[in-house]
């Protein structure tokens, strides 16, 4: 298994991937200080490991603009079966547009009124308490599937809400990633991976 908290620190110290830091992880020692730098307009993930480090940093940092760049245009988020049972079949999956609307609400730091008219407390912090890959990346689908890879991650993501009870999402998350068409050495630009699928298995 690869511990992505340790990997993140290595990337930050080299300022290789994002060139900025918005959050620190619990994997840091007490005397580790991560200073924020100027945030870039673009984020690149030359490898699948870089992509998942970027995901943890950007999601935890609640940066909607950079988060959008991590998601493929055909991105699908699949809810866990327990959530579908509670919310109904219309909540089996989200498209990229749906996911970005949800993320905008989560990242805004402001209260949100849901579809039932209930006001939800503002989310003020998202902290990755644990984030570790289980096993290796595997090919997803047939050999001609555009280089798609599937990886399983075990995580504990703590959500802090203003004036309301905090909660932690624990369990497995499955990601499918794909190299962006037209990227790579032959195109003259940086290679770049994006997330095309995210399946929530938390609580399973």
Q: Can you give the residue ranges of every domain in the chain?
A: 2-202
Least confident range from 19-23, 70-74, 188-192: namely 19-23
Distances from the Cα of 130 to the Cαs of 53, 133, 170, 184, in angstroms? 12, 10, 9, 31
| Higher pLDDT, residue 163 or 75 | 75
Q: Give pTM, 2 decimals.
A: 0.74
For the residues 50-65, what does the mean pLDDT come to? 94
The class (CATH top level) of 2-202 is: alpha beta
Best CA proximity match to 182, nearest among 174, 172, 190: 190
Query: Residues of the chain with pLDDT > 90: what percent?
Result: 52
Does 178 have pLDDT greater than 60? yes
* 107-143 pLDDT tens trace: 999 998 877 888 989 999 999 999 999 999 999 875 5
CA distance 202 to 152: 12
């Amino acid at each position: 298994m690869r511990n992505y908290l340790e990997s993140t620190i290595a990337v930050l110290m080299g300022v290789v991937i994002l060139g900025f830091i918005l959050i620190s992880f619990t994997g840091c020692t007490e005397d580790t200080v991560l200073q924020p730098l100027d945030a870039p307009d673009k984020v690149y993930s030359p490898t699948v490991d870089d992509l998942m480090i970027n995901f943890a940093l950007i999601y935890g940092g609640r940066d909607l603009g950079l988060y959008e760049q991590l998601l493929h245009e055909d991105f699908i988020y699949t809810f866990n079966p327990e959530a579908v049972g509670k919310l109904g079949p219309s909540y089996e999956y989200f498209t990229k547009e749906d996911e970005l609307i949800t993320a905008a609400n989560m990242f805004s730091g402001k209260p949100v009124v849901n579809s039932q008219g209930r006001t939800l407390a503002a989310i003020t912090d998202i902290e990755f308490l644990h984030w570790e890959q289980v096993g290796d990346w595997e090919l997803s689908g047939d050999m001609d599937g555009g280089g798609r890879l599937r990886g399983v991650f075990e995580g504990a993501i703590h959500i802090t809400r203003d004036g309301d009870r905090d909660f932690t999402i624990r369990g497995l998350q499955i990601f499918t990633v794909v190299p962006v068409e037209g990227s790579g050495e032959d195109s003259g630009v940086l290679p770049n991976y994006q997330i095309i699928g995210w399946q929530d298995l938390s609580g399973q």
